A = this chain, B = another copy of it.
Amino acid sequence: MLGAGLIGMFYTRALHGNRSRDRVHVLYSRSEQRARECAEAWGVEGWTTDMARAVNDPDTDVVVVGLPNALHKQAVLLAAQAGKAVLCTKPLATSTRDAMEMLEAVEKAGVFHGYLEDLVYNPKMLKTIEAIGKGALGRILWTRSRETHPGPHSAWFWDKAESGGGAIVDLGCHCIELSRAMVGKDVRPMEVMCWADTLVHPIEVEDSAIGLIRYETGAIGQFEVSWCFRGGMDLRDEVSGTEGTVWVNHWLRTGFEMFTTVGQEGYLAEKAEGDRGWLFPVGDELGELGYVAMFTDMLDALDSGSVPLESFYDGYVVNACMEACYRSIGSKGWAPVELPLWRGRAGVEKLSGQRDYDQRHTLIKEERMPDGRIKLILKEKATGSIVEGIR
């Protein structure tokens, strides 16, 4: 385990708790004190401040990268060199170029690689993706992924040199991959329009951003990220298709509502604000964040020699989309997503909805009116004029 921050703790807890036969053997942190203390607190036997030593330790089968973004590349290249399987937290890299280099390194070395995009593995998202695959929503038109909270917990997130960017890099990477998972990961993201600003915090990077990703089918992936949200952590996904809709709330409204006047000593939920009044805890935090299913998929794929749901290739596509976002912010217009490497489908036709009503009309719409009748809106094929009818 490389990294002794909050993400390292969540990963270690998930790994130890999950399949019950996996153990973190050695913990790396840049700070000796932190490495020692966390190793003890999390029940990890060894620790070191030497990254290479942790990677090359003979007990290390899998390198889990939970470090600040700017250190991912070094860690992944070390793992590839050592021929070790490597799982890397999000975002994969701080640039598309680095992401490609890392992807090439692990593929060349022939090592197993997984991209730790946990939110795609959330049980509700897995079921949503399954339902989409079965056609329950028809053709996908729009997705919305929102991740906002009052800001991250470690200093390095706020520091461009270590993070590579603000809320887009921290949270947008989740949203972009969720959008791909819902639209279909083989559908090419074509161009991006993004707004970002630093509205509240005295920092260099953006604390708020909204982006639109246009896919080749015409579908739009909308994301909203912010470090300025008040009220806890707002983690929602929505998707709309020609035949249906899904609304998912992962965090603040999951059927668990508590009112208390007491003020609990201690911790209720990640990024909760306050401990009195109406609170919205999450039953199984690690489960709802997708950690449990993610590590099960990763380790099962590793054991069976198959490809996990999320690999470095996905991380690379996400980096390319984020880079397009920053270009769009700069140009104040749509920016193309530059993907030198694209393994999905090409030339997918755009969505359109032509439904014949009868020989002379296409159907625009039907709706039940207050008086119970069905009203039709039709287009005359010959003239293009729009008429009403009652059925």
Write the residues of chain A forming the contact surface with B, with a CB cutoff of 8 angstroms. Answer: 6, 9, 19-21, 122-124, 126-128, 131, 134-138, 141-142, 144, 148, 150-156, 158-159, 193, 195, 197-203, 208, 210, 212, 214, 218-220, 222, 224, 226-232, 234, 240-250, 253-262, 264-267, 270-281, 283-284, 287-288, 331-334, 351-355, 362, 364-365, 367-372, 375, 377, 379, 385-388
Q: Which residues of B contact A248 (CB under 8 A)?
A: 255-257
Q: Which residues of B contact A137 (CB under 8 A)?
A: 230, 260, 262
A226 with B242: in contact, given A283-B122, A365-B151 (CB under 8 Å)?
Answer: no
- In the A-B complex, list the 9 residue pairs whose CB atoms are closest, starting with the nearest: A123-B283, A231-B259, A277-B277, A333-B333, A249-B255, A244-B260, A123-B284, A200-B353, A124-B283
Least CB distance, A134 to chain B, in whole angstroms: 6
Cβ–Cβ contact A274 & B277, under 8 A: yes
**What would 18 more interface pairs be, CB under 8 Å, given A124-B255, A148-B240, A274-B277?**
A127-B281, A127-B283, A137-B260, A141-B226, A153-B375, A158-B386, A159-B385, A193-B332, A201-B365, A202-B355, A202-B362, A202-B364, A208-B220, A230-B259, A245-B260, A248-B256, A274-B276, A278-B278
Cβ–Cβ contact B370 & A256, under 8 A: no
Cβ–Cβ contact B255 & A254, under 8 A: yes
Cβ–Cβ contact B200 & A372, under 8 A: no
Cβ–Cβ contact A364 & B203, under 8 A: yes
A353 with B199: in contact, given A123-B287, A262-B136, A278-B279 (CB under 8 Å)?
Answer: yes
